[in-house]
Structure 1
Amino acid sequence: MKKRFMTVGLAALLLAACGDEEATTNDKATTEEATTLKVASLIPPMTEILELVEPQLEADGIDLEIVVLGDNVQPNTALAADEVDANFFQHKPYMEEFNRNNDANLVPIEEIYFANYGVYAKNAASIEELPEGATIAIANDISNVDRSLALLAQHNVITLGEKTDVYYTEADVIDNPKNFVFKTVDLLMLARMYDDADAVVMTPAYAAPLGLTPKSDALLTEGIDNDFAITLVAREDNQDDAAIQALAEAMTSEEVRQFLEENYDETAIPAF
């Protein structure tokens, strides 16, 4: 009986030791779990780029969670409120305007691609064919008003005075030979204006659902000599986090460059 008791006692000790070892292993596994990185985005090719780099991040121990939101305000609001870790949908001037209006501290991490802004018209094959007093729809946020007017001025459709503030506004138009009327609408409404306005100034992402591309259909295009590259954005407090930097590196890989060049020719031009 005594021997049996000692054997049981030894077994109990071994089980306890194994249990401690298993607990230690589980604790170690917990500490080595993948870092979750939440990134807010909107539409392709933004979401497609994030999906493309997901396997690379997973190999680096980063669980990329893509949060697709429904408008161009939520991604910045969510980032500023620490609900996501980064976002990928905007250019730097748009981010800067959000910071000014919301006392936020969002920062650009990496420029990824130029969304080749263009002017599209359903019933005109060139800008010269637009009638006197034609209505041109442009996005209503101040950074994209600036961008739209700058594009038209770049091609001598209008003339802008010297910029005296952060952004151009309609008040800065000093020459408008054909008296074009600018109708400002929400960014997400631009594609719908294609049937209603004489022309629309918009990015490829909103032109694509209409079957339009900058290369084939735009009356005028912006190119890459500008500050409007679609950019990975984070906050001041997390901009140096390893996961954020790993994401930026993955998004500027040769794989992403090839993806854009093969699938978005003249629509999303690599900025790196």
Structure 2
Amino acid sequence: GIINCSDYDFGTQNVAYYDKEYQWLSGGPNNGTWNFGWQYRNDGVDIEACSDLFGAKYNVGWIDAAEWINYTVEIEQTGVYGIDLRIASSNSTGKIKLYMDNNEITSIIEVPNTGGWQTWATTSVSDVELQAGTSSLKLYFLEGGFNINHVDFKLISTSGDSTTNPDGVVVSQNYPNPFSISTKAGNSTTIKFNSASTGEVILVIYNVLGQRVYQEKKILESSGENSFIYDGRDFNGNILNGGIYFYSINYSGAEKSKRQIQKMIVL
């Protein structure tokens, strides 16, 4: 499920969050103590109105190194999850780690330069094992200089699935997403996936009617992380119209064919 970053736990500095400048005093028309963005909540985490069409109305911003935010979450099912983080940044200095109940669940996530403070893209992490129940999620910012809108946890497989189907494939969200295509060379998006074994994989792009518009095959000679580079064209080489599309990685290296579907937005 989606956790909007502005909806962190109620509580004080060093309990629900840690912010280096948690009291922003103003003597102007906005008298009083507030956050830097002067939006949504009147405590220490800096929040501003957000223009992301695919996110919440507010994002957390003015992030500094060593700041953190806590969220109480309910994990409905034990299993392996993928995590999508909705990020905007004018640089590539940002770094994040995620903790669950004070246990590290990701390595360092490096924030890409998306092209602007309100130019939003999705950064993905795969293969995160979580236990069902109520837990405390912490977003820890090792380095700042970026905005974050939400974090989306997607169940990839249950414990039983990962045991009975060890040869699966984990598909990440494409980056950048949304992405813009044109007649110029070099406009593309990267679709990463992680395979437990070798074999044939097929990338299939669908429109909202479920019709295939593109397909590409790759033979994996090694397991682990792989990727497709997609330039936004159909079977005939024509540029896709802007809109919502879906893609899947069809994998036939195991006894049964498997696939995972993700949403892709073309501008």
The TM-score bracket by the shorter chain reads under 0.3
Q: Which has the larger radius of gyration?
A: 1
Give TM-score scaled by structure 1 length.
0.23
Give TM-score scaled by structure 2 length.
0.24
* Richer in strand (by share): 2
* Richer in helix (by share): 1
